[in-house]
């Protein structure tokens, strides 16, 4: 099997067998890429994760592109990313077709109303976990509160808030010399 095929199938397995992206994917990435294939070292993987978190986009996709690029250049990055997205496209399309067929059913409606309650609980929990991780000092709290007020009460595109926060961060940390 040539290396492009190997890249594709390795990321196909990772995408198809891990639930939840981001950190949940780390053990699986380590098993496939470090232990089984010996493509990258564990240090590379952690570096790559750090880059994945400091760049826009889905962290798992960023990791796939990075590893693919390191192995086989631009085409390698593309092939690895296609492997990562194939399971999502196939599985979600099948589930969405099923849901569409049954959504009028009264029992499915009851089930979905229950699911909504738990989605709220899970998402609130995500916010709480993120807040604990990202709010480390007064500056973080300040940015977070201002961004929240902007998002809630000012009709401003989400992108603008992210760009303003980046500029403020650069001014305070890089130009102002505050320690990260």
Partner 1 sequence: MNFGLMARMFWEFFKIGLFAVGGGPATLPYLMDLTEKFDWYTMEDLTNMIAISESTPGPLGLNMATYAGFHTLGTFGGVVSTLGLVIPSIIVITLIAKFLENFNENKFVQGAFAGIRPAVTALIASAVYGVCKVSLVVQTETGYAPAVKTIVLCVIVFALLQVKRLQKYHPALWLLFAVIIGIVFRF
39 lies in the binding site for partner 1 (CB under 8 A):
no
The binder of partner 1 chosen from 9, 26, 37, 169 (CB under 8 A):
169
The binder of partner 1 chosen from 27, 31, 42, 89 (CB under 8 A):
89
Q: How far is CA 128 from CA 40, 122, 161, in A?
A: 34, 10, 20
107 lies in the binding site for partner 1 (CB under 8 A):
yes
Q: Are residues 73 and 3 in contact, defined by beta-carbon separation less than 8 angstroms?
A: no
The overall longest dimension of the chain from CA atoms, in Å, is 60
Tokens read off for 53: 């978190």
Q: Are residues 64 and 72 in contact, defined by beta-carbon separation less than 8 angstroms?
A: no
116 lies in the binding site for partner 1 (CB under 8 A):
yes
27 lies in the binding site for partner 1 (CB under 8 A):
no
138 lies in the binding site for partner 1 (CB under 8 A):
no
91 lies in the binding site for partner 1 (CB under 8 A):
yes
Tokens read off for 21: 């992206």
State the number of binding residues for partner 1 (CB under 8 A): 94
């Amino acid at each position: 099997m040539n290396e492009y095929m190997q890249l594709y199938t390795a990321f196909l397995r990772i995408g198809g067998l891990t639930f939840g992206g981001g950190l949940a994917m780390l053990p699986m990435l380590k098993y496939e890429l470090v232990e089984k294939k010996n493509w990258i070292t564990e240090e590379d993987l952690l570096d790559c994760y750090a880059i994945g978190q400091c760049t826009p986009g889905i962290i798992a996709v960023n990791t796939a592109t990075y590893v693919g690029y390191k192995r086989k250049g631009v085409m390698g990055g593309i092939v690895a990313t296609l492997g990562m997205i194939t399971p999502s496209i196939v599985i979600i399309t099948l589930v969405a077709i099923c849901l569409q067929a049954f959504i009028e059913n009264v029992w499915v409606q009851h089930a979905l109303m229950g699911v909504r309650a738990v989605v709220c609980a899970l998402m609130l929990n995500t916010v709480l976990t993120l807040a604990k991780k990202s709010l480390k000092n007064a500056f973080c709290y300040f940015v977070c509160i201002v961004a929240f007020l902007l998002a809630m009460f000012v009709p401003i595109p989400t992108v603008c808030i992210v760009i303003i926060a980046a500029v403020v961060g650069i001014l305070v940390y890089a130009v102002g010399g505050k320690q990260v």
